[in-house]
Structure 1
Amino acid sequence: MKTGVLTFHRCINYGSYWQARCLLEGLRSLGHDAVLLDHASGRVDRAEWKCALRPVPGQRGDRAVYRRKVSRFFEAFEALPRSPRFPLDAPERMPEFDAVVVGSDEVWNLSHPWYGRVPIFYGEGLKAPLMVAYAASFGHHDESGGLDRAWAQRLRAFDAICVRDEASRSIVSRALGTDVPVVLDPCLAFPPARDESWRGPEEHAYVALYGHGFSPGFASSVHAWARRRGWPVVSIGYRNDWADRQWIDAGPHEFAAFMANAGAVATTFFHGCVFALRFQRPFACEASWYRGTKLRCLMRQVGGERHLVDASSAMQGISRLLDKPLAAGIESRIESLRSASREILREALNAPVAA
């Protein structure tokens, strides 16, 4: 089928880029003619670029190097198969498709600072007889508040829904009165290949540091562990002054290779964990309140709960995580979930369309 993918595909964020690309390539692997729905908004662009040029609150400087990072993302965006551009707030101007897949990412996060409460992500105005949500998430939206009637009613227009975390499952189930499955993020369901030709920013092993807002205790523990190994700590995408190297201007392709070739990963981000799992890298993640919900769900899915730590975690516990390969059962659980997630998406797109 001619299939459009509606997601946050122009975010200056490694995870957003890769989840969009992997879902697109996953759909193509299932035999569909898939492209990204290339929505445009000056309001969104201004907010996105402002954040990209100063992504860490309170941190100044590095504007030129962050600008280079943005340029590399623009180059990557241009290489992806896309529909003709149309206004985000005028979906009636988008091309017609046989099906539209909404997701992954926080497409239903009503509190998102610039994409929140945009009706198109809830299916309004999409020009396709078949609408599917794959690995959609409400992000940090408070599940106890549920959805008000208007937003819940929009979700009823979807022919099939699957979500990325248990909190989103709870919100949808309460809103629609029916259960929905939890599936893997596209980066694990349709994982990117490993670039064997790439050798990394260092000649030898390194610790990949991805994220910001690390607590002093976590930073001290990771840095001490890396010193004992004789490995540098290399921060990608963001400045972390406690790292030995800064690689702020890396593009999304370099990010994937960087994670694949790391000796170990330390992160605060969801996709830091996803890529560590994808390439079977030892890792430790300090979960923030903003990302805690989806991180806890992911770790429960794959049996990796011990990889989530907090500021009070002992140095010994973090060292054990970084010292050892991933538990043998994690990869087998991912493979099982991968097979189930692909089948759920395949069946959703093969569903008969109501007249």
Structure 2
Amino acid sequence: MRIETRLAQAGNRKDPVTGAVSVPIHHSTTFAHPALGQSTGFDYTRTLNPTRKVLEDTIADLENGVRGFAFASGMAAIACLVELFEPGDHLVASNDLYGGTYRLLEQILRRKGIETTYVDTGDLAAVEAAVQPNTKALFVETPTNPTMKITDIAGCAAIAKRRGALTIVDNTFMSPYFQRPLDLGADVVLHSGTKYLGGHNDVLCGLLAVKDEQLGEKLFFLQNSIGAVLGPQDCWLMIRGLKTLALRMEKHQENALLVAEWLSRHPQVTKVYYPGLPHHPGKHMHEKQSSGYGGMLSFEVADESMVEPILGSVKLISFAESLGGVESLITYPARQTHFDIPKEVREAYGVTDRLLRLSVGIEHYQDIIADLEQALEAARSEVSVR
């Protein structure tokens, strides 16, 4: 079945006793044994919960993997994933990646003896050069957060395979509706389910999917041992959100392209990052491995002094953390999502103090543009008065 059908049917007919169309929420923390040495398949909810199993099976199916895992947050998913590695191991990661991931790699993993080299993973020669004999994984975001750089997933996976390393892809921006990294050779796909998969800014979640049963068994052991699993109520919210993912992603993308085109013509905007624009440097590669451009974009304004007035002037768009919900959100990466990255490091790959990130919602695109227009004009006026 096509992905739209699989999404709409998520959780349906999972309760053979009642035939419930909406999967039940199993709040029970423990499950009775039929007899000594026997199990229903569910013993303790940290290990496996019926509602969570539906969500985990769904993300595995959507990503064309063999096993899925649901966690209490995206960072909990990454923290569990990196427990695969040992002191002395080495990772190669996209140099323009989410600040929370960078913080975990630099401030937690590094002091455990696991080092990371950051490169432009869109440059396969640079990736190859960064790989060391002890490299155990490539950690890729594509498009990256927030400058929307594109990485050749299949190219990176081929490099990793030759070196005996894993390829991990953060697919949060695209979702499995637009991009399926496991089909391109990746070993693990990661989502902050909080974003597009949940889609309504009302649930915190992290998800992993893998294409190899042996790797799946290792992650199941770690997930159960660490215990940062997603609760059944939040699993149900995720399943409900997934049902409309196809519809939402199409609208996000439609709006984002129109907004990006408008911003690229605005005199106070010096640069727009969106893979759907003709001048985007990774557009051709992105189109080879993805079926859409998504709803995320970033843009630079002419002067840093405009940032605060813009953030204070938006009315429809909310100045808030996060992304991927039905509501449009604007974020200032230098002070928010990427604050933990040293200024000289983030500026080297484009996260300047003039950069704003926009999660384009599903409102009418003309209303989004009108709000941006009045905010940019308010900023221009305030700066000119100064």
Report which structure shows greater RCO (CA 8 Å, sep ≥6). Answer: 2
- Per the normalisation by structure 2, the TM-score is 0.30
- Per the normalisation by structure 1, the TM-score is 0.32
